[in-house]
Amino acid sequence: MGEAFSNLMKAIKAGEFVYTGELEPHKSADLTEVLAWAKMLKETGRIVAANVTDNPQSVGSVSSLVASYLIQRETGLETIYQLRASDRNRLALLSDLLGAAALGLRNVLALTGDHVKKGDTVEAMPVFDLDGTQLTDMIHRMVYEGRDLSGNEIHGPRPMFNIGAAGNPNAEPLEMEVLKLERKAEVGADFVQTQVVFDVDIALRYLDATEHIEVPILIGIFPPKSYGQAEFFDKYVPAVSVPKELLEHFKEFKQISDKEERKEKINEYNVEYFTEFIKRIKKKSTCKGVHIMAVGYPEVVSQIIESVEK
């Protein structure tokens, strides 16, 4: 790990078990809803920072850079600025990173990004000048050498970013994923946030396999709001499997006609399920926190954290 510039990194270095959240701006210039979600996460008192997505699943949305800055300014919640390499060449990436530094952002999650064919603008030209690992290397050079990938000097104060990288515990074979993570650590990743994991045994296997890599890992979880969400992950998200027990419970909840009663049952189950999940992974020395991807569902976040910590 390098220097700690952000509150997130300072908390990790202090030995805290950290919680991060996720905010997803839409195809709109109106950030009212996202700011309301951010305030709810801030009010938990336990979410140290929240990711701001960058064109998730290649669906065009408001700039993550702008949204990250406005969320921090308006709510005081620290953000993790997601940056996809799939939409920009290294020149555009450099420009956006310098802009992020000028705006006072302190966390960047370097991502390769999905292919544009997965999104809603399939006519767009994919870029992929860099991948997530090369982008991590580029940011690290900017911070610690004051230069870009071509060796050109960056004038003035160096950018102060803590660099996040993505991990995938669901990958098969897992050995290839471990090699990728080793490389990301070598080029300067400060922390890792993983893709969604529903099966705690998969999370534990990943934490054991990456124990030798000295980068803090935050396991990603996604409390579903409905059977449809849970089923979608199981059927359509590559390599992600949802335990049958969870699917069966959500199928039962679907039959409850009273909307408020159904919502209450779902909340209770998510809190119970993910409390046990987090307590088990928390015992692993490599696990330094949890990334709770409850997009549009911030009310369950504080309930899960309180249940784990009490």
Is there a contact between 81 and 105 (Cβ–Cβ < 8 Å)? yes
| pLDDT on residue 298 | 86
pLDDT tens, position by position, 127-171: 999 999 999 999 999 999 999 999 999 999 999 999 999 999 999
Residue 21 within any structural domain of the chain: yes
Give the Cα separation of 250 and 224 in Å (integer).
9
Q: What predicted TM-score, i.e. pTM, was given to this entire model?
A: 0.95
Does 234 reside within a domain?
yes
Band the pLDDT of 51: cuts 50, 70, 90.
Answer: very high
pLDDT at position 273 is: 97
Give the range of the structural domain holding residue 266, as residue numbers without chain letter. 7-309
Q: How far apart are CA 153 and CA 142, in angstroms?
A: 9
Residue 264 resides in a domain: yes
Let me know if residue 114 belongs to a domain.
yes
The reported pLDDT for the residue numbered 115 is 87
Our count of domains for the chain comes to 1
What percent of the chain is predicted at pLDDT more than 90? Answer: 87
Q: In CATH, what number is assigned to the domain containing residue 63?
A: 3.20.20.220
Nearest CA to 180 out of 193, 166, 191 is that of: 166
| 238 pLDDT more than 80 | no
Average pLDDT over residues 224-233: 93
* Residue 1 lies inside a defined structural domain of this protein: no
Average pLDDT (9-31) is 96
